[in-house]
Amino acid sequence: MKRVKVLVVGAGVVGLSTAVCVAETLPYCSVTVIAEKFSPDTTGDGAAGILLPKEFPDIPLERQKRWFKESFDHLLAIADSPQASDAGVYLSSGYQIFKDIPSDKKPFWSDFVFGFRYMTDREMKRFPNHKFGQAFTTIKCECLNYLPWLEKRFRAVGGQIIHEKVTDLHKLALNYDAIMNCSGLDSRFLVKDEEVYPIRGQILKVSAPWLKNFIRDGDGNTYIYPGIRYVSIGGTRQAEDWRLEVDKEDSEGILERCCRLEPSLRGAQVMCEWVGLRPGRANPRVEHEYLHLQGRQVPLVHNYGHGGCGVTLSWGTALDALDLLRQSLFEKPPQARL
Ligand SMILES: Cc1cc2nc3c(=O)[nH]c(=O)nc-3n(C[C@H](O)[C@H](O)[C@H](O)COP(=O)(O)OP(=O)(O)OC[C@H]3O[C@@H](n4cnc5c(N)ncnc54)[C@H](O)[C@@H]3O)c2cc1C
Ligand SMILES: O=C([O-])CC(=O)C(=O)O
């Protein structure tokens, strides 16, 4: 009997991962996802979806390693299964190159990807403006496939979906035993967290089926990611910039920088241009508190603020959010709803 009603706010890669984790792990919970936007209109749908972490300043490194390893291993199992093409999850190999030798040549995630090594002098000759490079195989998770696939998996275990904008979490909490907030950038308004801010990202999707390996400049501003339908080339990282319109100058800059790294892109046809707002935050917020209403305390588990790493850390942070939910339900068992 499903006696605990859990509501997940958000149907991006973070919300759907969280909803699937809870619905598949806690048989006593009935789980509903409520969101204003679903695939193909969430931030992850336009993202390249490469699994590549960055280091957050105030989260213990062991926790960050766990977030990445769990996400990588979860997606690797999908990539290795007959579900891979439906889910849009596959291995992707390539290079990260640096104009200056980075202080951390062997980053914390290097043991979790496959075949991490420094590039040879011969390989580096292809990139005369760069001094150092890393070669490795990671995973690419294309949300245009992965999110509908996750949604199907969620429905298969009885998950419910509501298509609606939420304006007041307290009102919703009258009808649920726990709420999980996966509203990304909109947490700025929904839970009034002023630490979340937009980091605008513009990319172009080009047709260049001859490209097989990714190339990323370590500064994070220029990258080329071959994918299933197209090659994503980027990018921009404009903090506090809320514009969702395509900026012509940004597109020109992206093409120019990417063609410098990969001259064969000069002949590539641009299929579309896309802008998304990363949910920036110094550190992702994966923690819980309680909403107080009419004598009841309703657990509120937050899972948002992943910046440019939402796909990269989606499963690991969802598992942490699941633990926080379990802990909060155990600390304060559901109290009678009105
Ligand atoms: C150009 C670009 C490239 C990127 N490339 C990568 C990459 O290669 N690898 C990687 O790991 N990450 C990448 N990212 C980052 C990644 O896309 C994000 O971190 C991730 O998509 C965030 O997911 P989310 O579920 O937290 O938020 P979102 O996808 O923004 O989803 C938020 C959800 O909450 C819902 N919501 C919000 N407020 C409300 C409300 N009030 N009521 C109802 N619903 C609400 C929305 O409707 C939506 O369903 C990239 C981002 C950009 C912009
Ligand atoms: O940085 C990258 O390589 C891709 C990415 O995650 C982003 O643009 O946010």
Mean pLDDT, all residues of the chain:
96
- Nearest residue CA, atom 26 of ligand 1? 184
User: Given this model, what pLDDT does residue 293 score?
Assistant: 87
Residue 3 C-alpha to ligand 1 middle, in angstroms? Answer: 30
* Cα R_g (the chain), whole angstroms: 20
Q: What percentage of the chain reaches a pLDDT higher than 70?
A: 98
User: Given this model, what pLDDT does residue 142 score?
Assistant: 98
336 pLDDT band, cuts 50/70/90, is low
Q: Best of 68, 217, 223 to mutate for ligand 2, by most ligand atoms within 8 A of CB?
A: 223
Mean pLDDT over 241-263 rounds to: 97
Q: Tell me phi and psi for residue 66, to 5 degrees.
A: -65, -45
- Nearest residue CA, atom 1 of ligand 2? 220
Contacts of 121 (CB under 8 A, 6+ apart): none
For residue 234, give the ligand 1 atom closest to its CA: 1
Question: Which of 315, 243, 324 has its CA nearest to residue 78?
Answer: 315
Q: Which amino acid, one-letter code, is at 143?
A: C
Residue 310 labelled as part of a binding site: yes
Specify the DSSP element, H or E, that contains 329.
helix 314-331
Query: 312-328: per-residue pLDDT in tens?
Result: 999 999 999 999 999 99
Q: Tell me phi and psi for residue 252, to 5 degrees.
A: -65, -45
For residue 35, give the ligand 1 atom closest to its CA: 44
Residue 197 labelled as part of a binding site: no
Q: Which two tokens stand for residue 319?
A: 């598992």
Q: Best of 13, 45, 50 to mutate for ligand 2, by most ligand atoms within 8 A of CB?
A: 50
Whether the pLDDT of residue 338 is over 60: the answer is: no
User: Given this model, what pLDDT does residue 337 score?
Assistant: 58
Whether the pLDDT of residue 330 is over 90: the answer is: no
DSSP 253-281: HHHHHHHHH-GGGGGPEEEEEEEEEEEE-
CB 278 within 8 A of CB 43: yes
Query: 141-194: per-residue pLDDT in tens?
Result: 999 999 999 999 999 999 999 999 999 999 999 999 999 999 999 999 999 999
Residue 140 C-alpha to ligand 2 middle, in angstroms? Answer: 12
Q: Is the CB of 306 under 6 A from ligand 1?
A: yes
Whether the pLDDT of residue 2 is over 80: the answer is: no
User: Given this model, what pLDDT does residue 260 score?
Assistant: 96
Peptide bond just before 40 cis, omega within 30 deg? yes
User: Given this model, what pLDDT does residue 1 score?
Assistant: 61
Q: Which amino acid, one-letter code, is at 281?
A: R
Residue 199 C-alpha to ligand 2 middle, in angstroms? Answer: 11
Give the β-pairing of 160-163 and 29-35: parallel
User: Given this model, what pLDDT does residue 331 score?
Assistant: 76
Query: 86-131: per-residue pLDDT in tens?
Result: 999 999 999 999 999 999 999 999 999 999 999 999 999 999 999 9
* Residue reference for tokens 């998950």: 159
Mean pLDDT over 133-139 rounds to: 98
Separation of alpha carbons 328 and 323, rounded Å? 9
Residue 223 labelled as part of a binding site: yes
Look at residue 221 and give its three-state secondary structure: coil
Residue 224 C-alpha to ligand 2 middle, in angstroms? Answer: 10
Query: 9-67: per-residue pLDDT in tens?
Result: 999 999 999 999 999 999 999 999 999 999 999 999 999 999 999 999 999 999 999 99
Separation of first and last alpha carbons in the chain: 20
For residue 225, give the ligand 2 atom closest to its CA: 3
For residue 202, give the ligand 1 atom closest to its CA: 1
ipTM of predicted complex: 0.99
DSSP 277-301: EEEE-SS-EEEEEEEEETTEEEEEE
User: Given this model, what pLDDT does residue 24 score?
Assistant: 97
User: Given this model, what pLDDT does residue 255 score?
Assistant: 97
Q: Which two tokens stand for residue 326?
A: 């379990």
- Nearest residue CA, atom 7 of ligand 2? 308
Per-residue b or e along 46-72, where b marks 16 or more CB atoms closer than 10 Å to that residue's CB: bbbbbbbbeebeeeeeeebbbbbbbbb
202 alpha carbon, closest ligand:
1
